[in-house]
Amino acid sequence: DQQVKQNSPSLSVQEGRISILNCDYTNSMFDYFLWYKKYPAEGPTFLISISSIKDKNEDGRFTVFLNKSAKHLSLHIVPSQPGDSAVYFCAASENTGNQFYFGTGTSLTVIP
Amino acid sequence: DVKVTQSSRYLVKRTGEKVFLECVQDMDHENMFWYRQDPGLGLRLIYFSYDVKMKEKGDIPEGYSVSREKKERFSLILESASTNQTSMYLCASSFQNYGYTFGSGTRLTVV
């Protein structure tokens, strides 16, 4: 059973606008969350993380929001750029665990 | 920077062949993982290892085996390749739960 879900397989956004990618999880023991970005024919690269003691983490154009009560996190990209076009995966783990559980990914296209 | 190296970027193999995918990391990470990525299915865990000579099945281990004889190397073996194993294979390593570092991936085509 998928413990981490990304319900939007794809998203198109105009350059300069905000991109919002969503992720839901079912396991209440998850307390550390990551976003990865993946270009075709390359491995995923780490983008941004958040732990459950926070509800927001910001890094430049990228902000991740965590709503623990709703078991929901989102990644905001502002402003979106064509180079942001990639597949984005969210991942979650328990503090005592070593394994991350991944969502199915959202393919973002930023239109120039 | 941690580097995870996968030996091949692209491979083409015939049905029934035994296939070895090699992965080496250079930062003394205990944990290593093998995933495959398929459109619409995301990253699915095949096998993982928390220590030398240790292995655990992931979500889709059927048709695969692994070997970890040294800490830095984690090999994925397709015992008898089939066309449904055509996929992008990703190796990753981690220290505790600080997140994964992935290799560049191996695009395997089984014909």
pLDDT tens-digit profile, chain A (112 residues):
789 999 999 999 999 999 999 999 999 999 999 999 999 888 999 999 999 999 999 999 999 999 999 999 999 999 999 999 999 999 999 876 678 899 999 999 999 9
**Closest Cα in chain A to B56:** A99
- Using an 8 Å Cβ cutoff, are A89 and A105 in contact? yes
Query: Which two tokens mark B94?
Result: 């981690």
Burial class of B12 by CB neighbour count within 10 A (0 to 12, 13 to 18, 19+): exposed
Burial class of A49 by CB neighbour count within 10 A (0 to 12, 13 to 18, 19+): middle
CA angle A32, B66, B102 (to 5 degrees): 40
Q: Which of A1, A7, A42, A96 to mutate to test the interface with B (most CBs of B within 10 A)?
A: A42
Q: Does the structure show a pLDDT above 70 at B1?
A: no
Q: Supply the pLDDT for residue A99.
A: 84
CA angle B6, B9, B10 (to 5 degrees): 135
- Alpha carbon B109 to chain centroid, angstroms: 15
Say if B14 is an interface residue toward chain A (CB within 8 Å). no
DSSP B88: E
Give the gap in angstroms from C-alpha A85 to the nearest C-alpha of chain B. 16
Give me the residues paired with residue A14 across strands: A111
Give the gap in angstroms from C-alpha B19 to the nearest C-alpha of chain A. 20
Q: Supply the pLDDT for residue A65.
A: 98
Segment B67-92 mean pLDDT: 96
Strand A56-59 and strand A106-111: the pairing is unpaired
Nearest Cα neighbor of B111 from B46, B2, B14 is: B14
Give the gap in angstroms from C-alpha A18 to the nearest C-alpha of chain B. 24
Report residue B85: phi and psi, to 5°: -100, 5
**Distance separating alpha carbons of residues A53 and A31, to the nearest angstrom:** 8
- The size of the A-B interface in CB pairs under 8 A is 62
Q: Supply the pLDDT for residue B39.
A: 85
Q: Supply the pLDDT for residue A96.
A: 67
Is the CB of B94 less than 8 angstroms away from the CB of A98?
A: yes
DSSP B44: E
**Distance separating alpha carbons of residues B100 and A45, to the nearest angstrom:** 9
In chain A, which residues have their Cβ closer than 8 Å to the Cβ of B104?
41-43
Q: Supply the pLDDT for residue B41.
A: 87
Q: Supply the pLDDT for residue B95.
A: 83
